[in-house]
């Protein structure tokens, strides 16, 4: 419901990627009102490539973690839905129960590939329509995002035609992946006027980094930055490990670290300590601390 309400407000939604509870809290602290749980980032966090190797149970548990920690609506990348239409029904129900604000499905064939790489293969449009319809019938309130990778395989016109069919099947949001020019982004937006569109500003990909504001001007409603936080964190961690192995001390990097006080404040450590004291005194439990609880009361 929260994501549907955000869409109804009409403002551009900037959805940074957040792959764990800490990143979700940091995104919320920065002002994010929606986040994106990327399959690529989640795979990387497991030490795996983005070729559909994680399972539904793993994704549902991570969805539960990030949604509970932040209280934000998450668009959850479910890749190809973990099977056929019947599997998609279970996927949507499991992720909705875990707290997903939207579930994203794509029209690639398995084994899927990153949307900005060569060698992608698509299922037929009829096959994807069946999956989208299954997702739409299975959900109670979560939104359905239909991603099409057709632009890189069959061209922009095919992507538009597929998108129209996916909307007819029940998709709430269309995600045209890997468009390569501003002109193509504008063409898709014009052809699908009135349909909420999602754009992917991932780094090192096919789509030009035009910025969220420009994409909003072109008619896109949601702009995701799926792996940005993970990439920045991974580079920083790699530099720390290199320093430790080279010098045996972390001291040169202290100025780049979040302090203990900053971390405890973010995690609301004091609130939990206060709760512990209340329980020890036998006082009634009125609410649990945490951003997730706070968001639900808004």
**Is the per-residue pLDDT at 237 higher than 70?**
yes
Higher-pLDDT residue of 287, 91: 91
**Following DSSP, what letter does each residue of 211-269 receive, concatenated?**
-HHHHHHTT-SEEEE-SHHHHHHHHHHHHHHHHHHHHS--GGGGGGSPPHHHHHHHHTH
Q: Which domains does the chain have, with CATH numbers?
A: 2-226 (3.20.20.60), 233-297 (no CATH)
**Is the per-residue pLDDT at 189 higher than 60?**
yes
**Is the per-residue pLDDT at 49 higher than 70?**
yes
Predicted local distance difference test score (pLDDT) of residue 280: 77
> What is the mean predicted confidence (pLDDT) over 267-279?
81
Predicted local distance difference test score (pLDDT) of residue 255: 96
Predicted local distance difference test score (pLDDT) of residue 155: 95
> What is the mean predicted confidence (pLDDT) over 229-250?
98
Which region among 35-39, 119-123, 184-188, 238-242 has the lowest average model confidence (pLDDT)? 119-123
CA–CA dist 62, 45 (Å, integer):
11
**Is the per-residue pLDDT at 17 higher than 70?**
yes
Predicted local distance difference test score (pLDDT) of residue 87: 98
Predicted local distance difference test score (pLDDT) of residue 294: 46
Q: Is 142 exposed, middle or buried (0-12, 13-18, 19+ CB in 10 A)?
A: buried
Whole-prediction pTM: 0.92
**Residue holding tokens 């001390």?**
249
**Is the per-residue pLDDT at 258 higher than 90?**
yes
Residue 116: pLDDT band (50, 70, 90) is: low
**Is the per-residue pLDDT at 297 higher than 60?**
no
Predicted local distance difference test score (pLDDT) of residue 292: 54
**Is the per-residue pLDDT at 286 higher than 80?**
no
Q: Rounded mean pLDDT of the chain?
A: 93
Predicted local distance difference test score (pLDDT) of residue 270: 83
> What is the mean predicted confidence (pLDDT) over 156-171?
98
Residue 276: pLDDT band (50, 70, 90) is: confident
**Is the per-residue pLDDT at 74 higher than 70?**
yes
Question: H helices within the chain, ranges in order?
Answer: 2-9, 21-30, 39-45, 56-70, 85-98, 125-138, 150-153, 156-169, 182-191, 212-217, 228-247, 260-267, 269-280, 291-297
**Is the per-residue pLDDT at 291 higher than 80?**
no
Residue 293: pLDDT band (50, 70, 90) is: very low
> What is the mean predicted confidence (pLDDT) over 214-220?
97
| Residue 167 phi, psi (nearest 5) | -65, -45
CA–CA dist 106, 221 (Å, integer):
19
**Is the per-residue pLDDT at 156 higher than 50?**
yes
pLDDT in tens, 197-209: 999 999 999 999 9
């Amino acid at each position: 419901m929260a994501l549907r309400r955000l869409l109804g407000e009409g403002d551009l939604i900037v959805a940074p990627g957040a792959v764990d509870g800490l990143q979700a809290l940091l995104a919320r602290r920065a002002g994010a009102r929606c986040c994106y749980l990327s399959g690529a980032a989640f795979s990387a966090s497991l030490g795996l490539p983005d070729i559909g190797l994680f399972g539904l149970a793993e994704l549902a548990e991570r969805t539960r973690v990030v949604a509970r920690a932040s209280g934000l609506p998450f668009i959850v990348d479910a890749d190809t839905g973990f099977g056929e239409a019947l599997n998609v029904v279970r996927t949507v129900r499991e992720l909705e129960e875990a707290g997903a604000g939207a579930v994203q499905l794509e029209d690639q064939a398995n084994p899927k590939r990153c949307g900005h790489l060569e060698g992608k293969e698509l299922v037929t449009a009829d096959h994807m329509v069946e999956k989208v319809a299954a997702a739409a019938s299975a959900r109670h309130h979560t939104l359905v995002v239909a991603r099409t990778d057709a632009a890189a395989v069959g061209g922009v016109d095919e992507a538009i035609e597929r998108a129209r069919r996916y909307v007819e099947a029940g998709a709430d949001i269309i995600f045209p992946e890997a468009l390569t020019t501003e002109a193509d982004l504008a063409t898709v937006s014009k052809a699908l006027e009135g349909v909420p569109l999602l754009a992917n500003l991932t780094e090192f990909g096919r789509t030009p980094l035009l910025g969220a504001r420009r994409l909003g001007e072109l008619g896109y409603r949601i702009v995701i930055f799926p792996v940005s936080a993970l990439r920045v964190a991974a580079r920083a961690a790699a530099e720390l490990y290199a320093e430790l192995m080279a010098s045996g001390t972390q001291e040169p990097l202290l100025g780049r670290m979040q302090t203990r006080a900053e971390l405890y404040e973010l995690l609301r450590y004091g609130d939990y300590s206060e709760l512990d004291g209340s329980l020890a005194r036998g006082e009634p439990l009125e609410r649990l601390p945490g951003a997730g609880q706070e968001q639900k009361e808004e």
